[in-house]
Amino acid sequence: MRNRTKLIFLNNVDIIIFFILVTAKLFHYAKIISPYTIQYNLKLAIIASILPIISIAFILTKRRLVFLYIADLILSSLLVVDMIYFKYYKDIISIRAISNSVLLSGVTASVEQLIMPSDFIYLVDVAILFPLIIFRKRIQIKHYSSNVRISLFALVVAIGIIIDGLSISSLNKQQPLLLTTMSNKLYIANSLGVLNYHMLDLYNFSSTSIKNTKISTQRIEEIKAFLNKEHIKVSENLSGEGLGKNLIVIQVEALQQFVINSEVNGNIITPNLNRWINKSLYFDNYFYQVAAGTTSDAEFMSMNSLYPAESGAAYYVYVGDTLESSPKLFNNKGYYTAAMHGYAEGFWNRESMYKTEGFKNFYGEHSYNINETVGLGLSDKSFLNQSIEKIKTFKQPYYTFLITLSSHFPFNDTKGYGNFDVGKYENTLLGDYLKGIHYTDEQLGNFLDKLEQEGIMKNSIVVVYGDHYAIPNTDVSQLYEFENVTEQTDLTWYMYQKVPMFIHFPNDNHKGVNHTYSGQMDLLPTLANMFNLPIKYTFGKDIMNTNTQYILFREGSFTDGKVFYISWTNTYYDIATGKTIAETSELKMKKEEILNDLSYSDDILNHNLIKKFEGSK
């Protein structure tokens, strides 16, 4: 018997080694992306995901070793990409994102910062086992008869499909629509394992590509009906307040709300923003809602009030779509419209996307004298100084959209940021960030003061907001330590994902604090009310005239200002107490209903429906 076992082992040693290595790598990656210990059902799903590959190996004979080696190489390379992508985006890469490969090249500066030699650990065995391939002819393995090999194939693939099928159907029960919208890729990978996630992504990508070629008339009518009820206003606060006035929107890189009215080592972090917030209408429960497109998603939502792409960046996936964007709406009112950003025009595909958005002009890197760099490129100081000179030449009324750059992850240009004593946070990511945002605050203060001195503020509305978080989840312990946070739940994390947003009116009118739970999806409807813009295809609310506090995030989390639903752990929190609460039938219905919002927005963009709607007028 022992000899028989030994013979079975020796005749299948290649498959056994492959299985052990790949299982170990997938378990390791599961640990990296999951905040919790790996449950047995996830382990089962991960093992089941490998079985179809093993089953093919059982069928093969002389090509088996090469097949297993290539499978190991492909899986390991994919895990390396997954590791790096997760470190930058806190997400799992998808085929659509890979197909927008320039998305990754665009953020090289940050991604390079994150790449560590340890990320390539998954390829170590591939290198070590390579000689086996060279000398494979010397490895004698006795293969079973074809009947036995086919039976083994059928048995192993059946086990894999059954276990995988059960895992997928249980997740589908728990979060219907999730597996089609792929709205929460991380949750899928944390539930089924990253290999199963990639198989699902492949299936969705190919079926989406096919699906996007057609949409039913019934679905189109459903979306139209949804959009018609979206624009019910409950009052007329600030309606028409912006008529004839210029609009200057400033999107600030990595401006996270915790720095506002905050100090470090006795030094005020953002004295200028604090000062201007006190003269403006400030929204202190304003959340960023970006997905993989980060900065570009913030722009996209702020200009369109449509959700970011479920995979990749809207600025790649939807370039060429007909949009009802703010630049177009202002163009139609006779405004001059311009985007301004002192960085490479092709970054985030802006050059092409700004044409789709409808800006009359885009002042990118080549429109600026790159006379000083701080952080990723042109310094905020030089960018804003040069921008004000351009703005002074604009035909009025104008709408201009500025994006700052210097306070960009990993905030390591501390020399460029100048001296700012962060005390014990010196040489930490948090300390570097505080230096960076303190620098940007100073430049914004100078810029806004100059707008005032030049008389521009008298006839302009100025909007300032942050694009997304500064401190990533991987370093959130530094933020919690700085904020003396003891209870560190998912809700804690989310409540720190606010960005400051304030609107300054001429003569400091309408100053105060608005506590409505809102987000970047709500900016366009709020401005449309002030400038009488005829919006029809937006998903956000007019913050000044709403009776809801509803915010939906791309990965399926949502809040109504009282309860916060966190999709990646399928958990509800009471915001006031910070405690988890059970799912009620009402909350379950809301959870399912909100995924409709995401899929409506996706259909409008994937099928370019605004073009159809406008064309059918």
Joined tokens for residue 23: 């299982």
Q: What is the 8-class DSSP label of residue 498?
A: B
Angle 465-466-471 from CA coordinates, rounded to 5°: 160
Minimal distance, residue 520 CB to Mn ion, in Å = 12
* Residue in 49, 294, 559, 599 binding ligand GP9, rule: CB under 6 A: 294
Measure the CA–CA gap between 355 and 319, rounded to whole angstroms.
9
Residue 382: CB minimum distance to ligand GP9, A: 15
What is 285-327 written as a DSSP string?
A: TEE----TTHHHHHHHHHHH--PPPSSS-HHHHTTT-----HH
What is d(CA 592, CA 598) in angstroms, rounded to the nearest whole number? 11
Per-residue binding letters, 234-273, with ligand GP9 (x by CB under 6 A): -------------------x--------------------
Whole-angstrom Cα distance, residue 240 to residue 295? Answer: 29
In the numeric block, which tokens belong to residue 612?
A: 């159809």
Grouping H, G, I as helix, E, B as strand and the rest as coil, residue 574 is: strand
Annotate each residue in 225-264 with x if it binds Mn ion (CB under 5 A) or - if it does not, as one string.
----------------------------x-----------
Check if the beta carbon of residue 260 is closer than 8 Å to that of residue 252.
no
Out of 85, 122, 316, 343, point to the residue binding ligand GP9 (CB under 6 A).
343
User: What size, in residues, is the chain?
Assistant: 617
Of 553, 542, 413, the closest CA to residue 469 belongs to 553
Q: Does 107 bind ligand GP9 (CB under 6 A)?
A: yes
Which listed option, ligand GP9, Mn ion, none, makes contact with residue 367 (CB within 5 to 8 Å by class)?
A: none
Stretch that binds ligand GP9, among 74-82, 176-184, 343-351, 528-536 (CB under 6 A): 343-351
The least distance separating Mn ion from the CB of residue 332, rounded to whole angstroms, comes to 29
Footprint of ligand GP9 on residues 382-441 (CB under 6 A)?
403, 405, 408
C-beta of 50 vs 114, nearer to Mn ion:
114
At residue 571, φ and ψ (nearest 5 deg) are -125, 145
Nearer to Mn ion, 164 or 467 (CB): 467
Q: In DSSP terms, which residues pair with 403 in a beta bridge?
A: 251
Question: What, of ligand GP9, Mn ion, none, does residue 91 touch, CB below 5 to 8 Å by kind?
Answer: none
CB of 107 to ligand GP9, least distance (A): 5
CA distance 42 to 163: 11
Residue 185 binding ligand GP9, by CB under 6 A? no
Residue (of 305, 307, 285) closest to 561 by Cα position: 285
Q: How far apart are CA 165 and CA 291, in angstroms?
A: 28
Q: Which of 295, 520, 538, 606 binds ligand GP9 (CB under 6 A)?
A: 295
Distance CA 243, CA 529 (A): 10
Choose, by CB under 6 A, the member of 187, 335, 347, 439 that binds ligand GP9: 347
For Mn ion, give the closer residue by CB, 58 or 288.
288
Closest approach, Cβ 113 to Mn ion, in A, equals 14
- Contact footprint for ligand GP9 (CB under 6 A): 107, 110, 253, 294-295, 341, 343, 347-348, 403, 405, 408
- Contact footprint for Mn ion (CB under 5 A): 253, 295, 467
